[in-house]
Amino acid sequence: MLSSKWLTIIGLIAIVITTTIIVISDHNKDRYLTVTNDDVEVTNNLSLPPPYMIKKATLPSVKDIDEASIVVNHKLPYPEYLPEDYSIQYIGAINVEDKDIWEVVIFAWDKEITDNTTNREFFYYGKGMVISISNNTKNSEAVIVDGVKEEGQEIGTALDELLAFYSKYGAHKLTIDGYQCVAYDSQMVEDAIGRKVPLLAEVACLKDDLWIQIRAYLPESELVKVVESML
């Protein structure tokens, strides 16, 4: 079983980050977004995750990274590099002191995030980027693979769990500026019945007592550059 701290932080992140793999719809009228790094195509096979407004579903807003640092009582890294034309447009922070858990999220985009911007527009149509920083550097009691506890696995770090879960999508370890990370590229993957759906790229790193996670439907190399500017 996952530790209570790990489950809680996953719950917080789930509020912020859209569903990674698009779900299946039984209705032909539903449409889904097939995304590549070059174009967008809408077809009639699958449906996107339920839409929600980015600003309404994320963590409480703060004015800048300095205020976020005060909320979580920790000096936070800040990206000095972003993809071309991208800018930081929203920062949210929460500190659950009784559970010793905190998280900060940073949204970057090359378009304007409005009160009506949805997860679909941000992540899939627009290739928006979300950066999550938290104090969740702990692991669960065993490595989890496809949601199932693998018996006999040694206790590892959160990176080990990420690597195991996404290994079938090319997740791999890498060292960035001396820190251990796991990454996998954006790609089209097969769902449970063999249809192609988009998977957001991700780079996650452990920096001392910080867990830094970046996700976007962009090339992995772009996410690595962002992480490099934060470490």
Beta bridge partners of 202: 184, 215
Return the top range by mean pLDDT from 2-6, 140-144, 178-182: 178-182
Q: What is the mean pLDDT of residues 171-176?
A: 94
For 188-219, what is each residue's pLDDT tens digit?
A: 887 677 777 778 899 999 898 899 999 999 99
Checking if the pLDDT of 103 tops 90, the result is: yes
Confidence of residue 45 (pLDDT cuts 50, 70, 90): very low
**Domains (range + CATH), the chain:** 4-228 (3.30.200.100)
* Most confident region among 10-19, 94-103, 142-151, 153-162 by mean pLDDT: 94-103
Written in H, E and C, the secondary structure of the chain is CCCHHHHHHHHHHHHHCCCCCCCCCCCCCCCEEEECCCCEEEECCCCCCCCCEHHHHCCCEECCHHHHHHHHCCCCCCCCCCCCCCEEEEEEEEEEHHHCEEEEEEEEECCCCCCCCEHHHHHHHCCCEEEEEECCCCCCCCCEECCEECCCCCCCCHHHHHHHHCHHHCCEEEEECCEEEEEECCEEEECCCCCEEEECEEEEEEECCEEEEEEECCCHHHHHHHHHCCC
Report yes or no: 82 and 226 within 8 Å, Cβ to Cβ. yes
- Across 40-49, 59-68, 94-103, the highest mean pLDDT is recorded for 59-68
Residue 133 · residue 211 · CB < 8 Å: yes
